[in-house]
Amino acid sequence: MLKTGTRLFFLLMFTAALGTNAQTTDTVKKDTVKIDTTILNKYRIQTKKNAIPVPPTPIQIQQELIPVTMLDYKISYWRKYITFGLNFSQAAFSDNYAAGGVTAVALTSNFIYRIEYNKAPFSYTSELNLLYGKSKNKGQSSRKSNDRIFFDNKIATQMSKHWFFFGSLTFESQFDTGYQYDGAGVNPPILISNFMAPGYLTESIGFEYKPTSYFDLRLGTGTARQTFVLDDNVFNSLAPGVDELYGVKRGKSIRTDIAFQMVAIFDKDIAKNMHLNARYDVFVPYGQDLSFTRHRFDAILAAKVNRLVNVSINGTILFDKKSKPGVQATEGLALGVLYKFP
């Protein structure tokens, strides 16, 4: 009985030892798995740290020219302006009209062509102004009311913001014959002017002040003017004892004066649909009395009624002792057609 109990005791102890050994084996296996995972992770980390370094490739930016088709644009330094005006007036009266009156017809035309070239520092301006008008009253011959040829050319180079050095050439004359009429209608008309009688050719160099696009002032310190009288018949209008007309002596056809010239030009829209063009010319001959200074002021004020119809008033004030004593003046008011381009 004692032996059987001893055997059972040793059997239980052996069984317990086996169970303990099995538990130890499982734990070791688990720990081994954990160690393997840690080693693997460590290996992986070390692999990243010990990887062969790859030098970064530098970024290179290179300019590439891409062909672009240019637009069909051209730069033009030229500008052209054309103005054409035609004014017509008419009045008619019956023979028995109680208030009286004279049937009359008048026609006036005006043509302006202006061209400009501007490419700094050089500029060129050319302006042609043609003015002619006729009027006829019943019982009288037709008479001209306006007649002028004006051709101005100027080239300049810029010296500063508003100052230029310029040279100019100007021509002035008229188209048709001009007569002096007897107010009483007793004496026949007397020829007093014609084409190139007088005619003026003016060369000038100096300085120009141009603060804005619509105003400029020319100071011609060196100016020469030739006065032409190419029709000897106009000398017949001279009073007895007078042998000089327009500064040209009888028997000659040309006179040259050296002078200082100042020209002020204003050309601007002063209100909506209203334009003013004014030119003031002062000619001071060297070596002569100041009373022989020539002053001329021309102005045209035009107001548009619609796209084509306009009302215009033009006037001229002239003081030239060599042509006529005293102040000469002319004025005209007209309603007509005006075309401007552009």
Which CATH number belongs to the domain containing residue 141 in this structure? 2.40.160
Strand partners, 137: 104
What pLDDT, on the 0 to 100 scale, is given for residue 25?
A: 45
The verdict on 37 and 85 lying in the same domain is no
Is residue 114, in this structure, part of any structural domain at all?
yes
Confidence of residue 30 (pLDDT cuts 50, 70, 90): very low
The verdict on 31 and 171 lying in the same domain is no
The verdict on 8 and 130 lying in the same domain is no
The verdict on 4 and 88 lying in the same domain is no
What pLDDT, on the 0 to 100 scale, is given for residue 320?
A: 93
The verdict on 303 and 244 lying in the same domain is yes
Give the total number of structural domains in the chain: 2
pLDDT score of 282 more than 70: yes
Is residue 327, in this structure, part of any structural domain at all?
yes
The verdict on 98 and 40 lying in the same domain is no
Is residue 128, in this structure, part of any structural domain at all?
yes
The residue out of 12, 33, 49 marking a domain boundary is 49
Strand partners, 255: 227
Confidence of residue 15 (pLDDT cuts 50, 70, 90): low
Burial of 115 (0-12, 13-18, 19+ CB in 10 A): middle
Is residue 152, in this structure, part of any structural domain at all?
yes
* Average pLDDT, integer, range 103-123: 91
Is residue 241, in this structure, part of any structural domain at all?
yes
pLDDT score of 97 more than 90: no
Q: How far apart are the C-alpha atoms of 12 and 120, rounded to whole Å?
A: 122
The verdict on 11 and 94 lying in the same domain is no
Range of the domain at 248: 78-341
The verdict on 91 and 38 lying in the same domain is no
pLDDT score of 8 more than 80: no
pLDDT score of 324 more than 80: yes
What pLDDT, on the 0 to 100 scale, is given for residue 28?
A: 45
What pLDDT, on the 0 to 100 scale, is given for residue 24?
A: 47
Is residue 313, in this structure, part of any structural domain at all?
yes
Question: Are 332 and 315 in contact, with CB atoms under 8 Å apart?
Answer: yes
Is residue 67, in this structure, part of any structural domain at all?
no
The verdict on 89 and 13 lying in the same domain is no
Q: How far apart are the C-alpha atoms of 117 and 138, rounded to whole Å?
A: 48
The verdict on 139 and 40 lying in the same domain is no
The verdict on 21 and 157 lying in the same domain is no
The verdict on 121 and 3 lying in the same domain is no
